[in-house]
Structure 1
């Protein structure tokens, strides 16, 4: 029997303002990878892949792309170096379209997109907010789930403008980031359970079930 493919796409802000929480973000991402490895064992009928794109106004970094979770290496301070501005729309457009091109014809496939940023869009050149909203609305009908995790800006407003209903706000300090990653991992567990039961996963990602 073919396993259920689950693509975990993480779009991570690497702009200069993330520098103050760099070590906490690296640690949290690596813990998330370890937890996904554990979830793959918990749900053996699922096959998990991770794609990680970090972004700033200098470039998009494709750190992982459809890598099997059990073969994934951790990121470190050499790979994640915050600098520059926040081209949020361009990063979402780049990462989502790149993954969609590969998985669009795959059957038995779910995609979980996690967007993490500490600031509003300020430097995109290729995509507008309206274009990203339309893209997200289209893919939500194709078993894609989008989540938006943020701090230091109006998270709910920005996410709503992009048609993302799953939001999580965190405090920009060590304890706040730790709590955020704990909540995210708990929600991820519930999401994988829903995938297993073939339930709708578009909304209520951060709601306790």
Structure 2
């Protein structure tokens, strides 16, 4: 643990964008990264996987990305903009919920 905080006091989000299946790594295999992601999810981290013209289900499964945190988008400027806008809307919704729960917790003290 890097920070001396409880899981309820912070949020870590990782946004993975891919335009194809991973095929160039020299140090890590996707399965090794998936094991690390599984450990980080247990620590409260969240991972989102946005992919284009490949089997995002298979790759996201290998990386242990939860099914509700995967999005396929078109490999175009408009597709990327749409994916970005969708992601930002989700982040804002999650951020507002997180801040509201923090306010609620602090008012109980």
What TM-score do you get using the length of structure 2 for normalisation? 0.79
Q: Does 1:194 align with 2:93?
A: no
Number of residue pairs matched by the alignment: 96
Aligned equivalents of 1:106, 1:113: Cα separation in 2: 20
Q: Does 1:105 align with 2:36?
A: no
Q: Which residue of 1 aligns with 2:107?
A: none
Q: Give how far 1:123 is off.
A: 1.2
Q: Secondary structure at the match of 1:114?
A: strand
Q: Give how far 1:174 is off.
A: 2.2
Q: Does 1:157 align with 2:58?
A: yes
Q: Give how far 1:110 is off.
A: 1.6
Over the residues paired in the alignment, what is the CA RMSD in angstroms?
1.6
Higher strand share: 1
Q: Give how far 1:157 is off.
A: 1.5
Higher helix share: 2
Matches within 5 A, 1:1-209: 104-107=2-5, 108-165=9-66, 166-196=69-99, 197=101
Unaligned segments of structure 2, at least 5 residues: 103-109
4+ long deviations beyond 4 Å: none
Unaligned segments of structure 1, at least 5 residues: 1-102, 199-209
Aligned equivalents of 1:116, 1:186: Cα separation in 2: 16
